[in-house]
Amino acid sequence: MSALEHLRNPAIDRGPLEAARNPALIYQDGVWRCFHTCAVRHGDRYDAFLDVATSQDMVTWSTPERLTTSSLNFSSPGNIIHANDQWVLCVQSYPIEPGQVWGSEASRLWLMRSDDLVHWSEPEPLHPPGCQARWTNSHRQIDPYLVYHDNRYWCFYKTSGQLGLLVSDDLQNWQEASPDRPVLGAHQTPDGVTVENPCVIRTGDTFVLFFAPCRKGRGIGVAYSNNLLDWRDAHYLSFPDLPWADGGPTAAMVIDARPEFGHWLMAFHGDRHDDDHRHSAAIGLAWSDDLEHWHVPWPKTNLIQGLRP
């Protein structure tokens, strides 16, 4: 029996007034930490916060701790890497104009730093000018995800419904790694929809990109690459309907938990249709042996088969 058989979904549910979205997991010294967005509606205004919950068994989670309270709406944590003897967390700013639901053109990418995963620095802008790629007129950048490869740091992001890529030698000076084309766009998805929420892991010589299609019912997409720039075989995993999230699964974040538990582990959020809270969602968990076939607990573990177009 798998050590993860005890998982149940939703793992983190903030209730009807607060939405838990965009999970970023890390396991260190026997503690699971789930950094995530907390979206709150106040009248006709939405506020977003960066929160973290902890657990020792992924069943019982602590009351979330709030890490940011800025009007810039820091949110959508991508992942945490260890660099220069520090932990580095990437997030977005997501300022929402009055009467609007989504982050404005001023949305940007930011980094936070920590020595212990508990105490974090104030966010620092990763690339203040925003997107400078020639394939879009937008400078907006959201949904960061960091990868260390070939002695360089790479940061995936979303703009104009497509994925771009920045590169840096020092986590301070960044340039567009693919200035003339997105690294993944709507023309590469099975149904031609736009994409967001990148997550990249490496297995052997292959990079695996998990992405979220922007469509009704959402879903979890996968593509493969050997160089981070050229992605192939984009397809969708087949997930079940979620009784606790009628809008479907999205924003998958996958980590390698094989050393601890013998499996890959996925956190995702399930969207909920709620006329009073456009960002309503809760966080779920799943696990896999091969990154294609996922066990998704609720109310019991079911084997979910991968689906290619």
Nearest to 228 by CA among 148, 143, 128: 148
Nearest partner of 9 among 275, 270, 277, judged by Cα: 270
Q: Give this prediction's pTM.
A: 0.95
Q: What is the CATH number of domain 18-304?
A: 2.115.10.20
**Nearest of 67, 95, 89 to residue 77 by alpha carbon:** 89
Say what the pLDDT of residue 142 is: 98
Distances in Å between the Cα of 79 and the Cα atoms of 90, 111, 147, 233 are 6, 10, 9, 24
- Looking at residue 300, what is its pLDDT? 46
pLDDT of residue 227: 98
| Amino acid in position 127 | H
Query: Given this model, what pLDDT does residue 209 score?
Result: 98
Kindly state the percentage of the chain with pLDDT values over 70: 94
- pLDDT score, position 1: 45
Two structure tokens written together for 18: 């607060």
Burial of 266 per CB tally in 10 Å (0-12, 13-18, 19+): buried
Residues 131-190 have pLDDT tens digits of 999 999 999 999 999 999 999 999 999 999 999 999 999 999 999 999 999 999 999 999
Q: Report which listed range, 1-15, 221-235, 240-254, is most confident.
A: 221-235
pLDDT in tens, 202-236: 999 999 999 999 999 999 999 999 999 999 999 99
- DSSP helix/strand/coil, 116: coil
Q: What is the dihedral of CA 284, 285, 291, 295, to 10 degrees?
A: -100
Q: What are φ and ψ of residue 271, in 5° steps?
A: -70, 145
Query: Higher pLDDT residue, 299 or 178?
Result: 178
Q: Which one-letter amino acid corresponds to residue 11?
A: A
Which residue in the block uniquely carries the two structure tokens 């709507």?
186
Q: Residue 37 pLDDT more than 90?
A: yes
3-state secondary structure of 149: strand
Cα 192-290-151 angle, rounded to 5 deg: 80
DSSP class of residue 121 equals P
Query: Predicted confidence band at 298 (pLDDT cuts at 50, 70, 90)?
Result: confident
- Residue 43: per-residue pLDDT: 77
pLDDT (0 to 100) of residue 303: 47
Q: What is the mean pLDDT of residues 5-11?
A: 90
Question: In the predicted model, is pLDDT for residue 301 greater than 60?
Answer: no
Mean pLDDT rounded to a whole number for the chain: 93
Question: What's residue 308's pLDDT?
Answer: 39
The letter for the amino acid at 209 is L
Q: What percent of the chain has pLDDT over 90?
A: 85
Q: How far apart are CA 279 and CA 275, in angstroms?
A: 10
